[in-house]
């Protein structure tokens, strides 16, 4: 039997070690975030304005965003999973947190009661589980046409629903970013639902729904993507500011000769001698391959076109227009969500929420 030789274990004093600065970074413009909430609140009219904060505030960080939204005036916060609740409780009261997926298991019920976070009930089964587990105040989702989560309007007369102590009765618009008849159909269906069951507040409009006007606002609006810089409808152009800003550093430069290729599958081949830079950013950071073709990074007003495929941790840019750049120099990664979505055909929601953990932690 061959034994693998190992070196003696060394005892390393890590107290003096400091993690080196990253070579890519995400900056959240908290002033823009507060501005966006206030802009959406103003358009919401007499309705109060909450905040969808699921998926770590759409990828921008609960600890960064929640205090800003809270201090701007938001009082109701919508998460998707129960696992998202604990970080929120560091910043807001439990009764301000609504969990959209509801009590799927008995464990969810126990957790909700223990923390005070309020479930959004979506079905007869969830309502029964909530009541049998000793739950009190809750919210109720009614499905008016999106056919994801929620009770059918025809079910609202069921005694189990009628027995609930409902704070917010809500529904969700399927096509608010479009001007189509389905919006009005859902509005009519929700209005009907509000007359069928007792509740304190009602809520229908998401980010795009706010732009549809006062009829859709009810008592509470629930913006999400527009808080974080997305523009789901043209009415918000000029009102919603960019919140997320990305930068990445050059980690190596080289000069390509005619005929040399770049990256996987050799999708780019140099037709001239050209200086290029390898940049510390890739699809593991949420910079998707769909953004590669035709995209460019920038230094000031100068564009640096991407060459070849986006790799997991790296992209390569053409440095012809900025020959002075070298290792360690920082480049701007254009991240206006409407522009990036148009360029890549990836939705604004996806572009934001796929930001990689190592980028968000920088």
Summarised one tens digit per residue, pLDDT across range 188-215 is 999 999 999 999 999 999 999 999 999 9
- For 207, residues 6+ apart whose C-beta sits below 8 A from its C-beta are 40, 176, 223, 224, 225, 226, 227, 230, 232, 236
pLDDT band at 328 (very low <50, low <70, confident <90, very high): very high
pLDDT of residue 4: 47
**Phi-psi bin for 177: left (phi > 0), alpha (psi -120 to 50), beta?**
alpha
pLDDT band at 1 (very low <50, low <70, confident <90, very high): very low
Q: Is the pLDDT of residue 6 over 50?
A: no
Q: What is the mean pLDDT of residues 14-42?
A: 90
pLDDT band at 12 (very low <50, low <70, confident <90, very high): low
β-strands 97-99, 118-121 pairing: parallel
Q: Is the pLDDT of residue 335 over 70?
A: yes
Q: What is the mean pLDDT of residues 90-106?
A: 98
Q: Is the pLDDT of residue 359 over 90?
A: no
**Which among 84, 45, 92 is positioned nearest to 61, based on CA atoms?**
84
The Cα 8–Cα 18 span in angstroms is 24
Please, where in the chain does CATH 2.40.37.10 lie? 244-360
- For 213, residues 6+ apart whose C-beta sits below 8 A from its C-beta are none
Please, where in the chain does CATH 3.20.20.10 lie? 30-230
pLDDT of residue 25: 93
pLDDT band at 361 (very low <50, low <70, confident <90, very high): low
Q: Is the pLDDT of residue 8 over 70?
A: no
Q: Which residues are catalytic?
A: 54, 264
Opening angle at CA 198, ends 119 and 196, nearest 5:
110
pLDDT of residue 166: 98
Q: What is the mean pLDDT of residues 76-95?
A: 98
For 186-273, list the strands marked E by DSSP. 201-203, 220-221, 244-256, 261-262, 268-269
Q: What is the pLDDT of residues 128-146, one digit of tens each?
A: 999 999 999 999 999 999 9
pLDDT of residue 2: 45
Cβ-based neighbour number of residue 21 at 10 Å: 8
Residue with tokens 């148009």: 342
Q: What is the mean pLDDT of residues 86-111?
A: 98
pLDDT band at 255 (very low <50, low <70, confident <90, very high): very high
Q: What is the pLDDT of residues 263-292, one digit of tens each?
A: 999 999 999 999 999 999 999 999 999 988
Q: What is the mean pLDDT of residues 16-39?
A: 92
pLDDT of residue 356: 83
pLDDT band at 357 (very low <50, low <70, confident <90, very high): confident
- Tell me: domain 30-230, CATH 3.30.1490.20, correct? no
Cβ-based neighbour number of residue 276 at 10 Å: 24
Q: CB of 231 within 8 A of CB of 206?
A: no
Q: What is the mean pLDDT of the chain?
A: 94
Q: What is the mean pLDDT of residues 150-154?
A: 97
251 vs 2 pLDDT, higher one: 251
Percentage with pLDDT > 70 across the chain: 95
Lowest-confidence pick of 5-9, 26-30, 33-37 = 5-9
Q: Domain 244-360, what fold? A: Lyase, Ornithine Decarboxylase; Chain A, domain 1 (2.40.37)
Q: What is the mean pLDDT of residues 177-181?
A: 96
pLDDT of residue 351: 92
Lowest-confidence pick of 21-25, 54-58, 67-71, 277-281 = 21-25
Q: Is the pLDDT of residue 118 over 90?
A: yes
25 vs 6 pLDDT, higher one: 25
């Amino acid at each position: 039997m061959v034994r693998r030789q190992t070196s003696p274990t060394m005892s390393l004093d890590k107290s003096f070690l400091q993690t080196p600065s990253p070579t890519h970074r995400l900056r959240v413009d908290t002033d823009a975030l507060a501005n966006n909430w206030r802009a959406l609140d103003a358009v919401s009219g007499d309705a109060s304005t909450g905040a969808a904060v699921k998926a770590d505030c759409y990828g921008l960080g609960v600890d960064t965003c929640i205090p800003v939204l809270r201090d701007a005036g938001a009082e109701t916060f919508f998460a998707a999973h129960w696992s998202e609740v604990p970080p929120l409780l560091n910043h807001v009261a439990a009764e301000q947190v609504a969990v959209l997926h509801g009590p799927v298991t008995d464990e969810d019920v126990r957790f909700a009661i223990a923390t005070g976070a309020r479930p959004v009930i979506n079905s007869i089964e969830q309502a029964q589980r909530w009541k049998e587990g000793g739950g009190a105040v809750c919210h109720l989702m009614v499905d008016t046409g999106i056919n994801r989560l929620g009770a059918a309007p025809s079910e609202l007369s069921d005694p189990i629903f009628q027995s609930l102590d409902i704070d917010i009765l809500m529904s969700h618009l399927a096509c608010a970013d479009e001007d189509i008849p389905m919006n009005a159909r859902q509005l009519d269906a929700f209005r009907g639902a509000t007359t069928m069951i007792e509740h304190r507040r009602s809520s229908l409009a998401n980010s795009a729904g706010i732009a549809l006007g006062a009829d859709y606002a009810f008592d509470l609006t629930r913006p999400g993507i527009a808080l974080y810089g997305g523009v789901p409808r043209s009415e918000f152009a000029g009102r919603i500011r960019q919140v997320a800003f990305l930068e990445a550093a050059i980690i190596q430069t080289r000069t390509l000769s005619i005929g040399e290729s770049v990256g996987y599958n050799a999708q780019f081949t140099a037709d001239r001698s050209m200086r290029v830079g390898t940049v510390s950013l890739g699809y593991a950071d949420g910079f998707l391959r769909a953004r590669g073709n035709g995209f460019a990074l920038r230094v000031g007003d100068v564009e640096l076109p991407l060459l070849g495929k986006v790799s997991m941790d790296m992209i390569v840019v053409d440095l012809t227009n900025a020959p002075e750049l070298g290792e360690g120099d920082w480049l701007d990664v254009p991240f206006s969500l409407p522009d990036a979505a148009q360029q890549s055909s990836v939705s604004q929601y996806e572009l934001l929420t796929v930001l990689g953990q190592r980028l968000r932690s920088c």
